Structure 1
Amino acid sequence: MPWGPPVLVVLAVIASLAGLTINPKTVAAPPTVDYVIVAGAAGLRWEDIDPQRTPNLWREATQGSIGWLSVKSAQRVTCPDDGWVTAGAGNYAAWPPLNPLGPCSLDPPAITQPDQIGADLTDQALAVRENQDRLSFGAVPGALAESVRCTTAFGPGAALAAARPFGRVDKYQPALTGDVKTLLSSCPISMVDLGTITGSGADRQAAVEQADAALAKVLAARPDRSLMLIAGVSDTDRTTRLHVAIAEGAGWDGGWLTSAGTGRDGYLQLVDLAPTVLSALGKAAPEKLFAGRTATIVDGKPADLTKAVQGSHNADQRAGAQHAVAEIFFKVLSIVQLLLFLLIVPVMGRARRHAGPTGPALPPPRLVAAFEVALIAAALAIPAALLADASPWWQAKHPAWWFGLVTFALVAVGTAAVRSAPRFRRTLWPIGAVAVIGTVVVGVDLLTGAQLQLNGVAGYSAIHGARYAGVGGVGLGVFVSGLLVVSGWAAQWVRKPWRPLVFVLLGGVGVVMVGSPFLGADPVGAIAVTAGVCVAAAISTGGWLTFPRIAWAALAGLAVTIGFAVVDLRRPALEQGSLGRFLSAIAGGTGGPAVQRAASSNGQTLLESPLTVLAVIGVLMLAFCQFSPWGGLQRVFGLHPALRAAGAGTTVATLIAGALGGSALTVAGAAAAATVPTAVLTALRVLLHAADRTRAFPVLSEPDKTGVVSKTRAPSSPNAGPAR
């Protein structure tokens, strides 16, 4: 075996790791302050703020830094009490009773005032016990208050955020009455409940105006050297939305709010408020308790607030439309692919005739051509959906129909491009061309900031609070499967010893694209890609996964994983990715809740996601094509072993990414939807080539010139040709 391929493989692995060592740029923290005032209004959204009706909120948003606030808590829908206790815990918390399905309770928590100074939360001990024993986030209600000498609260909601773990609120007023100025300057942290915004129409407007009037009292009494944080701390019904986040004070004048937890300019999490408060006061966050990250400021906010949060920049409207349309899209795609596979089974049964002079006729060429077009279109559905998110479909009166029309048009264009190519008749052209399209669409999106995936139908929603930047589960499935199929397609054109190099070179690019904090920002996905590439490279020259091949693949994957972990752990705590945070949690003894959350998320996603159906449909169809006598996939793998390696690598990568990332079969389902249709098309073509064989004719006997009788051969089929 020549030394060239192994040496280049090692160099490619080193180059991949080198691409991950670049640290994200650090953002200078704003100057510290003496006081932080957190003014919260449950249900407050950007559409509620108006320069005439809410002049104080409008002025604060114009002068300060702003963002879209994701109010994810330990509950599936964050009700007001859940939002306030999460803000005070700095972690995903919930207020008892835990009721994930019932309507939000707007009743205030039970509070007693044994003196004229502070107050006691009656159910705080129960809340601490419920969050520690029944929930998997390790939240401690009151962790923020326990980090400073005293806190002040105005209103019942604020008391939930300002109380200590044993329930004591140091200074409390049921409303903004009395000497507000003295109270705001008596403790470093003040929590203010501006009210609850519910309903619609005139009633909602009245509630918002009352909140703005309450804010006016706070602004008039705020002490010098103070930071004002204004937040819509929760939802108020069973509909999850994005809410208001404003930071105004010295050093916070202008720009978008962001944090290392979101990695996306203009987006903040509710759990980021607590570490931001302590950072602004110059205090360290408590160890092992906070899940949020300190908010920072980035430039780019338009001077006109209307342009920043309304119209084409209304992230809340887009995210809400995404949730509804995504469910419809993937259900329709599942049904279409299922029907397509069921209809093509008898066609594949006729494509390979039994031996003998008689047998079922081959399927009509027009029928085969129609199925080929349909299979290509089905495989291009998700890349087309990603591109469709570049259009403002979500602003239409009927967003689902507009999204469907745009996606259908893009599918038609992509199918026509693949079908009209001069090399279309080549056996491997459709599977390779479709894989290139999927890989390029996702790759270009990552290079341009993953704008198509944020709040996109084939991406992820900021409302869910799981991901805000980088590559999502659907995009990862399309990218990984496409990259490995392209590698297998290209590897067929080189000599066997050099095929592993093709996989490692292209796979190394994939590892950097997925794992880089500037691009995919998914270190777990990068590890999964590494594992898939190693498996594919090990069997790309043919044969099976023998023990030496498994050992070398495992060692290579382990080396990349360790290198990735070392790189991530060397970054500052606020710049670490999910892998670094997870390893830090394990080292600190708090990794158990993270594992429990991943397991819970896997179970929930497995049962609820339409992509699970796509994964099952794809596996069943591949099993039919692999093991049935007329399936054809076994012959494809025999003729093209690099494609078999790509299939094995895709299976390993998508399953690892889903299991470790908490998304179950989401990644595998997206990969199946993007690759199984063209794999079936390839198998059908190979079957049709296999049917082009010598026809049966009577054997004729005739004497030659010497009088010896000889037999003549039957004429060959005019359609015979190689399965290329």
Structure 2
Amino acid sequence: MRTARTRSVLVALLALIAALFAPISPAQSAAVASAAGPLAAADGDADPDTRADYVIVAGVPGLRWEDLDATSTPTLWKLAEHGSIGSMSVRSAVTPTCPADGWTTLSAGNYAYRSLAANPPKVSGECPQLEQEVIRGRDKQSASLPPDEQRLVIFNNGKNPWGAVPSALPNSVRCTVAVGVGGAIAAVRPYDRVDRYEPGLPDDPAKLTDLLASCVLTVADLGTVDAKETADRKTQAAAADAQLAKLLAARPARSTVMVAGISDTSTDQRLHVAVFDGPGWDSGWLTSAGTGRNGYIQLIDLAPTILHVLGRPAPAKLFRGSVAVPADGRPADLASAIGVPAQADAQAKAQRGITGWFFGLLAVVQLALYTMLAWAMRRSYTRAGRAQKALPLPEWMRRKAPSRPEPFWTKWAEIALIASASAIPAAFAAGMAPWWRSSHAGLVFWALTVAGMVVVSLVAVLLPAYRRTLGPVGVVAGLAAAVVALDLATGARLQLNGVAGYSALEGGRYAGLGVVGLGVFISGVLLATGCLAQISPRHRRPWLIAIVGGVAVVVVGDPFLGADAGGALALTAGVCLAVAVCTGGWLTLNRVVWATAAGLAVTVVFALIDLRRPVADRGSLGRMLSQIADGTGGPTLHRLSESNITAFANTPLTLLALGSAGFVWFALLQPWGGLKRLFGVYPAVRAALTGVALATVLAGLFGGAALNVAGAAAATVVPLVALGALRVREHADDRTIAQEQEAFSGVVP
């Protein structure tokens, strides 16, 4: 009992010390941002004053950075030169975000959609044209939408899990001006009224000046850029640029202009233009607490930013977005600066077309490999020199090398398993080369990934550790964890818009650890530590796993590294469990109690630290606790459950997780599979794998990813476990300690 208690207290203290260092000071934050480069998280405490008397939102649905140049869009170009710029994700409550949905999301400050039906119609190609009816008022200044239409839109959005309330933005200011149909949708109040409305920008400069100065908020629809051909897009962008020039010429003093590509125009989802010009927005990047990365904001960030600039209080319980702020680090040359978001858009588009194929093919190849391996292991299994219900293997699989007692097939199986386990880390590393710029982006990505798998396989085979039973297992697991850790230390550049990372188009995450990266990191750290602990003295194993696990918890949970509080809590549970059983023996009730107590202690610490941060900077754990405290946690839990269901049904990683579990249960854990023997000889490895299983399942549930985290972990760890089981199985008849030590070339406890 005392030993279990000591281990658990050890883990809790290490995680407590690590967590206390997580909320670093503003000066440290700035240093981290500077070291990580132009796409690092900005320091909100050093933001310049961006307050203004007027805000003008100029929306251009479909506008992308590739549509801008100094010749055809000179106004936009000059505005971007001395304003702050970024790529904007236009995620809404439906996919794709068509213009009507984009304007409604702007109005709500939350993921919304515009439909008079309870279930919005599916869009399979081009978005429908915006044909909203706007009725001019008798005073020739105001307008309205058809009676009760906006109320029905609000009612339908109330049924979605985000709890969006369209008209939340115009309801937060005293007066709004709407120009064009899109502006009317964004500025309409719940009772269908638009305060001031013009179908287009007046040609009379004096009238336009009076219009823009009549209310603190103006929302103008400058047209749509939806053509397929480049020349036609340039023409449409030039028309919007001409409208913007009229607007800028009449803007009031101390006003902020926000140009935004409000939505997509088809199922071809892209990142869109965001340019802010006004007090405090001087030649920088745009960022927000919601993205945590310079150069990226979300459509839902516009509403809280507008109210912040105007000095108005925001309805925090209604808005889902965060206040956008300017950040330093933008190149002085605008062409170079625009190249950053333009390349991000190109990479995100290329990633979207490859990700599904990559994980689908990975699942098929790994499951086929497991099937063939199970067949070969079962047919070749012998005990006491006698085959048990086994048909002979083909001759080429039974041949043996003079210097190696095992059949040739085991050597090739080991190499195949090593290569398979390195597939996802190799896909991460492929992002170091700009493969998306190639005209054959898919082929280049596959070539880089395969090359990475070959390199990892050669390293694992050529190192002296390969001769040890657990040598290649620990080496490959350590390399996988190192790839993810180095990426986090340099700003998570390989994960953003990477095939094995997360897409800015999805609007779910822009920095830190993604679902796949979390699975690879957890499995790599715990398995490599388990292999290392196995060759350590028995009494030091809990200390080693606790120390390395505590550092890993910091990496996952630190807001400037992994930025995943839920993942940190899940990893804490896995580390506590691994520490409890790493010296051997059963998982007794006493060990479970103390491991659970340590995990709960760390959870409370992380929760308290997260709640100390400003509301906009809190992580998922702090936000959820705050929502539960004020009675608004129901929609969050509902969204989490829906996200888990969707993630379970719509990804190849679920198939990979379930297939890998079936391979372990029906093959490796059988008498001829070797895994039971591996666990008996190497209890630290058993502890690590138990911790991986618990941590990855919990991380998926906490993050709304179902079995995706476990699937990514399985893609890395199950091939390595099969390799270890295969090696141990070849010596199943060895009975003496001396024989086992010679065969395993390792330490047998």
Shorter-chain TM range is over 0.9
Q: Distance in 1 between matches of 2:186 and 2:103?
A: 5
1:154 to 171, 179, 182: 179
> Any residues of structure 2 matched to 1:282-297 within 5 Å, and which?
282-297=311-326
Q: Distance in 2 between matches of 1:721 and 1:242?
A: 56
Q: Distance in 2 between matches of 1:7 and 1:231?
A: 52
Query: Relative to 1, partners in 2 of residues 1:4 and 1:200: Cα closer, same or farther, differing over 3 Å?
Result: closer
8 A Cα contact 1:689 1:723, kept in partner? no
> Any residues of structure 2 matched to 1:69-468 within 5 Å, and which?
69-96=88-115, 97=117, 98-103=120-125, 104-115=127-138, 116-122=140-146, 123-133=149-159, 135-177=160-202, 179-201=207-229, 202-310=231-339, 314-356=343-385, 363-364=398-399, 365-468=407-510
**1:60 corresponds to:** 79
> Any residues of structure 2 matched to 1:577-656 within 5 Å, and which?
577-656=619-698
C-alpha deviations, 1:395-424, integer Å up to 9, x for none?
Answer: 111111000001111111110010011121
Query: Relative to 1, partners in 2 of residues 1:719 and 1:587: Cα closer, same or farther, differing over 3 Å?
Result: closer
Query: Relative to 1, partners in 2 of residues 1:610 and 1:398: Cα closer, same or farther, differing over 3 Å?
Result: same
Q: Distance in 2 between matches of 1:399 and 1:648?
A: 39
1:349 is displaced (CA, Å) by 1.9
Could you tell me which amino acid in structure 1 is paired with residue 133 of structure 2? A
> Any residues of structure 2 matched to 1:685-700 within 5 Å, and which?
685-692=727-734
1:628 is displaced (CA, Å) by 1.8
Could you tell me which amino acid in structure 1 is paired with residue 247 of structure 2? V
**1:707 corresponds to:** none
1:626 is displaced (CA, Å) by 4.0
C-alpha deviations, 1:542-584, integer Å up to 9, x for none?
Answer: 2222222111111111111111011011011121112212222
Q: Distance in 1 between matches of 2:89 and 2:342?
A: 16
**1:559 corresponds to:** 601
SS in structure 2 at match of 1:690: coil
Q: Distance in 2 between matches of 1:260 and 1:337?
A: 38
TM-score, normalised to structure 2, is 0.91
8 A Cα contact 2:522 2:571, kept in partner? yes
Which sits farther off after the overlay, 653-662 or 608-617? 608-617
1:73 is displaced (CA, Å) by 0.5
1:199 is displaced (CA, Å) by 1.5
Q: Distance in 1 between matches of 2:484 and 2:386?
A: 50
Query: Relative to 1, partners in 2 of residues 1:718 and 1:643: Cα closer, same or farther, differing over 3 Å?
Result: closer
> Any residues of structure 2 matched to 1:506-585 within 5 Å, and which?
506-585=548-627
8 A Cα contact 2:86 2:341, kept in partner? no
Which sits farther off after the overlay, 524-533 or 484-493? 484-493
TM-score, normalised to structure 1, is 0.94
**2:23 corresponds to:** 21
Could you tell me which amino acid in structure 2 is paired with residue 499 of structure 1? R
SS in structure 1 at match of 2:113: coil
SS in structure 2 at match of 1:349: helix
1:118 is displaced (CA, Å) by 1.0
1:91 is displaced (CA, Å) by 0.6
Query: Relative to 1, partners in 2 of residues 1:335 and 1:191: Cα closer, same or farther, differing over 3 Å?
Result: same
C-alpha deviations, 1:69-101, integer Å up to 9, x for none?
Answer: 000001121000000010111111100041244
Q: Distance in 1 between matches of 2:191 and 2:304?
A: 21
1:681 is displaced (CA, Å) by 0.7
Unpaired runs of at least 5, structure 2: 30-42, 400-406
In terms of Rg, which structure is larger? 1
SS in structure 1 at match of 2:654: helix
8 A Cα contact 2:653 2:707, kept in partner? yes
8 A Cα contact 1:5 1:497, kept in partner? no
Relative contact order, higher structure (CA 8 A, sep 6+):
2
1:282 is displaced (CA, Å) by 1.1
Which sits farther off after the overlay, 12-21 or 409-418? 12-21
Q: Distance in 1 between matches of 2:739 and 2:612?
A: 67
C-alpha deviations, 1:308-333, integer Å up to 9, x for none?
Answer: 23379611110000111111111111
1:449 is displaced (CA, Å) by 0.7
Q: Distance in 2 between matches of 1:102 and 1:560?
A: 47
1:668 to 710, 722, 726: 710
1:173 is displaced (CA, Å) by 0.6
Q: Distance in 1 between matches of 2:351 and 2:357?
A: 10
**1:701 corresponds to:** none
Query: Relative to 1, partners in 2 of residues 1:722 and 1:608: Cα closer, same or farther, differing over 3 Å?
Result: closer
What is the RMSD computed on CA atoms of the aligned residues?
Answer: 2.1
1:350 is displaced (CA, Å) by 4.2
Query: Relative to 1, partners in 2 of residues 1:408 and 1:436: Cα closer, same or farther, differing over 3 Å?
Result: same
Q: Percent identity?
A: 49
